[in-house]
Amino acid sequence: MTEATQRKAQGELRLVELERRYDDFVAVNGIELDVPPGSFFALLGPSGCGKTTTLRMIAGLEEPSGGRIFLGTEDITNTRAHQRRVNTVFQSYALFPHLNILDNVGFGLRQLKVADWKTKAMQALELVKLADRAKQKPRQLSGGMQQRVALARAIVNEPEVLLLDEPLGALDLKLRREMQIELKRIQQEVGITFIHVTHDQEEAMTMADTVAVMRAGNIEQLGAPAELYDKPATAFVANFLGQSNLLPIEVTSITGERATVSSHGTSLVVEAAAIPSEAPDGLRLGIRPEKLRLVEATDTTWTNKLSGEVSDASFTGVSTTYLVRMPWGQELTVTQPNDGTARAELGDQVTIAWDPHHAFMIGVD
């Protein structure tokens, strides 16, 4: 696709102080967003966080109460849905039940008066591997197939930005994993900017280059999946993307690159650079379950160690997840890979340890 490369340069989306208010409720609270062209961007958040409203405002299906939307250099805020070179894959797929698959996929092209719409629509159906279903009606296809038709119907128009509203929400787990890989492949193949709305953190992290975590109408944190996971900025992000153990801490001293903090009377070492400049009060240290190790109490290679009693152990095959109760009552989650190291039993006294650079620190929300 020669046109796709050209579009790649155009499909930059910029939201400026975008806002959507209802009578007594702010759905989207003046967000700023810069989606680089050709990227796979995910809007992640729990239901009601404003991610779908944001998507619908970009599509033109919802009117913003304030702010602007730019597509490339063009301000599209006041244009209507049918005037925007943006296409949507709806959560319910919204395939036209009275039209066959080919006519569904060709709908946009015919509106755009593309002469060889049939050829292009068939190519799009080949891309999603459904060319043999062209003459069938949507209801004769399975959910997964309908999903792919909805995708073909949107990308065939080569929009500058493709919007996906929880497109895999109605599929079962296995199909979902398959479609995640499939979507990623198609995005790389066509090079269109994808904006994917989801509440599934794993889905967002698997597929997207950049993830924006939304909460109550605001963007809480934005970054690459690994960055969000390893260095969450808030407790919400730390717990929404995977699991985190959070320990309240106080900074006692800073010497060069290292700092000493104390938590419940235990002295711990952290990286000085990881201490956030804001919110020095109510500071918390976060550590992911898989970064914690079960070690011998006498092991001196680890600087950060805590001891406690195993209060729960569940074996899942690839790993064992323990709950370890600290002397002050808090239970820490530890995931031990099934790599041949000795497993602990319920009621055992164990020592857990971690590397200082695996920890992150966050202030109070």
Footprint on this chain of other proteins (rule: CB under 8 A): 59-61, 80-83, 86-88, 90-92, 94-98, 107-108, 111-112, 136-137, 140, 153-154, 157
Q: In the complex with other proteins, which residue's Cβ is closer, 149 or 238?
A: 149
* 11 versus 108: smaller Cβ distance to other proteins: 108
Q: Are 220 and 236 in contact (CB under 8 A)?
A: yes
Minimum CB–partner distance for residue 81 and other proteins (Å): 4
Nearer to other proteins, 92 or 188 (CB): 92
Instruction: Compute the least distance from the CB of residue 53 to other proteins, in Å.
Output: 14
Considering the complex, what minimum distance in angstroms separates the CB of residue 76 from other proteins?
Answer: 13
Cα angle 184, 108, 105 (rounded to 5 degrees) comes to 60
Question: Residue 78 Cβ, how far from other proteins at the closest point, in Å?
Answer: 15
Segment (H or E) for 71: strand 66-71
**Smallest distance from other proteins to CB 275, Å:** 47
User: What is the distance between the alpha carbons of residues 67 and 50, in angstroms, rounded to a whole number?
Assistant: 15
The answer to whether 196 and 91 are in contact (CB under 8 A) is no
- Nearest to other proteins of 128, 247 (CB atom): 128
Smallest separation, CB 364 to other proteins (Å):
41
3-state secondary structure 319-355: EEEEEEECCCCCEEEEEEECCCCCCCCCCCEEEEEEC
Shortest CB 142 distance to other proteins, Å: 15
Q: Which is nearer to other proteins, 136 or 351 (CB)?
A: 136
Q: In angstroms, what is the minimal distance from the CB of 224 to other proteins?
A: 29
Smallest distance, other proteins to C-beta of residue 328, A = 52
Interior/surface letters 22-59, b for 16+ CB within 10 angstroms, e for the rest: eeeeebbbbbebebebbbbbbbbbeeebbbbbbbbbbb
Sole residue written with tokens 């991610």: 51
Backbone φ and ψ of 309, nearest 5°: -110, 140
Q: Smaller CB distance to other proteins: residue 149 or 352? A: 149
Residue 220 Cβ vs other proteins, minimum distance, rounded to whole Å: 28
User: 147 or 304, CB closer to other proteins?
Assistant: 147
Cβ distance to other proteins smaller for residue 128 or 359: 128
Containing 106, the helix (H) or strand (E) segment is: helix 101-111
Q: Between 28 and 154, whose beta carbon lies closer to other proteins?
A: 154
Rounded CA separation 118/297 (Å): 70
Residues across the chain: 365
Q: What is the CA radius of gyration of the chain?
A: 25
Full 3-state SS string of 225-293: HHHHHHCCCCHHHHHHCCCCEEEECEEEEEECCEEEEEECCEEEEEEHHHCCCCCCCCCEEEECHHHCE
How crowded is residue 227: how many other Cβ atoms within 10 Å of its Cβ? 14
For other proteins, the closer of residues 110 and 264 by Cβ is: 110
Half-sphere exposure of 30 (CA within 13 A, CB side): 1
